[in-house]
Every structure is written in structure tokens, then in C-alpha cells.
């Protein structure tokens, strides 16, 4: 994040403005990825009119960065109508897609509409691995063709590479492919429990050995010694910090109008079909509860060695039953990085529980973003 964007985020936090919102336009999808947490059925998606009205409300509330995701966004027949409306309102629009439905014409339209960036899921540089994850033969070729169409229009593309047991050894190949295509690449071994509560998919997630390997890959983390160092003891200021931007400057809206602090934090705070977006944002009891949490208020983490640089996700903690509790996935991540068990892991060990097991059997999680190249200026 650029220094100027950090400054703007700090200002938005102070003013209680939702600077960044993700809307999932649909949960329907044309791929059937083995690790996906969605059910892909339409349970009554917001209509075109409902979404355009929501976009109006969000612009008025001060939302600047709008991420449109799904499901597969291009399955909405009104997708370009919604995008046109969003750009008319001058949102900075980012898209997340598998890109299977993007051909030359769609790429040109995205350029004409001034889309900021497009994130595309690529699981492997090898078709037999990628297509075995999406369960759609030919899907890698379609997605890579789309990347070339988008690049030929001068659009900014990022490959999102989810790291799982099935493709664990392929991330260097995906990164090489990204370099060849001239696009950025992110690595994300996040596997989320399914919407219906089924946590079986978590077995597909990266294990400790994979995490250790990734954390010691200089091409991803830079200085390994620094990245894997045991953190210094936290100061008072560290413990007064907020856990993340969810509910503070960012939130998520589902295809059914439900508002959550984040796509990975399914705490219901209201529905835009019944209330104005800004009223949910400002006055929801649940949203304000999330906002009130400081690191010092957490149940186990304040005494943990890792507290000052842990990537604890409050949404994953919520999915384990307590948004003020630890996120076992992130404990696993800190452990893989430093070799030092977290306070949560030590407590579990004393209780005779597998220290890396989440309260509901969750898997390890790590999120790494590489190649963040952003500049800033003031006119």
C-alpha cells in the first residue's frame, strides 16, 4: 500500500468511512473448484436495480475501492450494466474472476470502462493440475487466453495462486508463467470452510511442511532471517491496535444484500434490502462491536509471543466460535515462520488437544502478497 493510501486509510478510519467494499454479485460459477466454500445456487440474488441503488448509496457513503467478485461475475447477464454504473460513480473498480468468459470483446470493454485491475485464479502452470482443481477441462487455456487479451488492452492483471496439497509444488511454475505474461502474482494458501459448515475442504490446505518451505523462499519473502525472526515484546501501542480493516474501513456485501465485516468474517450486521447501507455501517450493533475490539481485549493473544506481528484473522477466529479468540490457522502460520508455538497452541497442548487443530477442525492459513509495486504522489 502506498504511503498516500495509508494516509487516506487512516483518515477514513478516523472519520468512520468504508473506504473499500467487496460485493459478491453472484455465488453461481462456471467452475467447480474442489476447495471452494460456496454452494453455487441462486437463493435470490439482488436485482440489477437493487445493486445499482446500493452502488449509489455506497458512493454517497464515501466508498472508493469497489471489488466485484463472486462466484463468477461474468455469469451475471447485467454485469456490464452494473460495471458501467459503478464507473459512472467513479469507483476504483477491481474485479475477481476465473476469466473463462473473457474474450477480446470483453477485454476491450473492461478497458473502455476504466477498470483498475483484474485478479484471476490460476492454480498451476500445468493444465492437468489446474483443470483437476477447477474440474473443467480446458479451463487453464481459457483463463490464460483471457490474461493475454486483457494485457493486450493494457489492463493490470494479477494471478491469484491458491496453495493446496494438490498444487503445492507448482507455485514457482505459476510465478514464472506470471513473469512471462507480464502480470503480478499472489500466493494464498487460504482454504475456507464451506458455507454449509462442512470443514472437509480444509484438508486440502497447506500443511506445516509446505508453509515452512514457502516462508523460507527468498523469492517470496525477501530476507528469510528477518521474515522468520521472533518478534520483539509488544509495547502498549501494539496492544491498542485494531486487528485488521474489517468493519473499520472495509466490509463485504453478499449477493443477497447481507453486510458482513469481511468476506471471511460472516458475522451478520444487516441487509441492504431492509436498511440503508450507511445506517448498517454506522449503527449496526455487531459492526460497532467488531470496531470496539483492540488486541489487548483478546482472550489469549495479548500474552502471546507473536501478538505484535501475527496475522490473526478475526473472521477465522469468529468461525472458530469467538471473534475475540485466537485463529488457530494464524497460530500455525506464526509457528511455521518462527518455530515458536503460540500461546493458544501451548494452552491446547496443556489440555491434551492437537495444538494446530482449530476449534472446529480448521487447517493452516497463510496469506502472502508478493511484488507490491505502487507509487504515490500529491498534485
Partner 1 sequence: MSRLYVARNPRVAARSLDGEMMIMSGRDSTLFTLNKTATILWQSADGTTPLDEIVEHRIVSEFQVEAAEALQDAETLARELASHEILQISEEPFPQRNNAAGESRSGESR
Query: Which residues form the interface with partner 1 (CB under 8 A)?
Result: 2, 4-5, 8, 11-12, 15, 17, 19, 59-64, 83-85, 87-93, 112-114, 116-117, 156, 374-379
Question: ∠ at Cα 133 (360, 44), nearest 5°?
Answer: 70
The helix (H) or strand (E) run that includes residue 49 is: helix 48-61
C-alpha 71/C-alpha 16 separation (Å) is 29
Minimum gap (Å) between residue 361 Cβ and partner 1: 40
Minimum gap (Å) between residue 179 Cβ and partner 1: 19
C-alpha 162/C-alpha 164 separation (Å) is 6
Strand order in the sheet with 20-24: 270-271, 258-260, 250-253, 20-24, 65-69, 92-97, 117-121, 157-162, 184-188, 368-369
Measured from the CB atom, the residue of 116 and 207 that comes closer to partner 1 is 116
Measured from the CB atom, the residue of 152 and 203 that comes closer to partner 1 is 152
What 3-state DSSP class applies to 347?
helix
Give the three cell numbers for residue 96. 475477481
C-alpha 52/C-alpha 108 separation (Å) is 23
Beta bridge partners of 23: 68, 253
Measured from the CB atom, the residue of 89 and 129 that comes closer to partner 1 is 89
Minimum gap (Å) between residue 66 Cβ and partner 1: 9
Beta bridge partners of 66: 21, 93
Minimum gap (Å) between residue 92 Cβ and partner 1: 3
Minimum gap (Å) between residue 111 Cβ and partner 1: 9
Measured from the CB atom, the residue of 65 and 101 that comes closer to partner 1 is 65
Measured from the CB atom, the residue of 351 and 373 that comes closer to partner 1 is 373
How far apart, in Å, do the first and last CA atoms of the chain sit? 19
Minimum gap (Å) between residue 315 Cβ and partner 1: 26
Question: ∠ at Cα 263 (16, 302), nearest 5°?
Answer: 70
Measured from the CB atom, the residue of 86 and 140 that comes closer to partner 1 is 86
Query: Could you tell me which residues come within 8 angstroms of residue 8 by beta carbon, excluding any fewer than 6 positions away?
Result: 19, 64
Measured from the CB atom, the residue of 59 and 127 that comes closer to partner 1 is 59
Minimum gap (Å) between residue 55 Cβ and partner 1: 12
Amino acid at each position: 500500500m502506498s504511503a498516500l493510501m495509508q494516509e487516506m486509510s487512516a483518515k477514513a478510519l478516523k472519520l468512520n468511512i468504508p473506504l473499500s467494499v467487496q460485493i459478491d454479485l453472484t455465488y453461481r460459477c462456471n467452475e467447480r473448484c474442489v476447495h471452494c466454500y460456496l454452494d453455487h445456487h441462486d437463493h435470490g440474488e439482488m436485482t440489477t436495480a437493487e445493486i445499482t441503488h446500493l452502488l449509489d448509496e455506497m458512493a454517497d457513503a464515501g466508498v472508493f475501492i469497489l471489488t466485484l467478485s463472486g462466484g463468477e461475475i461474468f455469469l451475471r447477464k447485467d454485469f456490464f450494466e452494473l460495471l458501467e454504473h459503478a464507473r459512472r460513480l467513479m469507483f476504483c473498480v477491481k474485479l475477481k474472476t476465473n476469466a473463462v468468459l473473457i474474450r477480446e470483446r470483453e477485454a476491450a470493454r473492461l478497458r473502455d470502462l476504466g477498470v483498475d485491475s483484474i485478479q484471476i485464479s490460476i492454480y498451476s502452470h500445468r493444465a492437468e493440475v489446474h483443470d483437476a482443481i477447477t474440474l473443467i477441462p480446458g479451463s487453464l487455456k481459457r483463463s490464460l487466453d483471457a490474461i493475454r487479451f486483457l494485457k493486450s488492452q493494457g489492463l493490470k492483471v494479477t494471478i491469484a495462486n491458491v496453495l493446496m496439497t494438490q498444487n503445492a509444488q507448482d507455485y514457482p511454475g505459476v510465478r514464472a508463467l506470471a513473469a512471462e505474461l507480464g502480470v503480478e502474482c499472489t500466493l494464498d494458501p487460504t482454504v475456507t470452510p464451506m458455507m454449509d459448515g462442512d470443514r472437509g475442504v480444509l484438508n486440502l490446505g497447506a500443511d506445516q511442511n509446505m508453509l515452512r518451505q514457502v516462508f523460507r523462499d527468498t523469492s517470496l519473502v525477501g530476507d528469510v532471517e528477518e521474515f522468520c525472526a521472533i518478534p520483539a515484546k509488544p509495547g502498549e501501542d501494539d496492544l491498542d491496535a485494531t486487528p485488521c480493516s474489517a468493519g473499520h474501513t472495509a466490509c463485504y456485501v453478499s449477493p443477497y444484500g447481507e453486510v458482513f465485516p469481511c468476506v471471511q468474517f460472516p458475522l451478520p450486521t444487516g441487509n441492504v434490502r431492509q436498511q440503508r447501507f450507511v445506517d448498517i455501517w454506522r449503527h449496526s450493533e455487531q459492526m460497532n462491536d467488531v470496531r470496539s475490539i483492540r488486541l489487548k481485549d483478546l482472550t489469549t493473544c495479548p500474552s502471546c509471543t507473536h501478538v505484535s506481528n501475527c496475522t490473526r484473522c478475526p473472521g477465522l477466529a469468529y468461525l472458530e466460535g469467538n471473534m475475540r479468540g485466537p485463529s488457530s490457522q494464524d497460530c500455525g502460520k506464526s509457528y511455521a515462520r518462527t518455530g515458536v508455538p503460540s500461546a493458544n497452541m501451548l494452552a491446547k497442548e496443556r489440555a491434551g488437544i492437537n495444538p494446530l487443530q482449530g476449534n472446529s477442525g480448521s487447517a493452516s492459513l497463510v496469506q502472502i502478497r508478493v511484488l507490491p509495486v505502487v507509487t504515490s504522489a500529491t498534485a
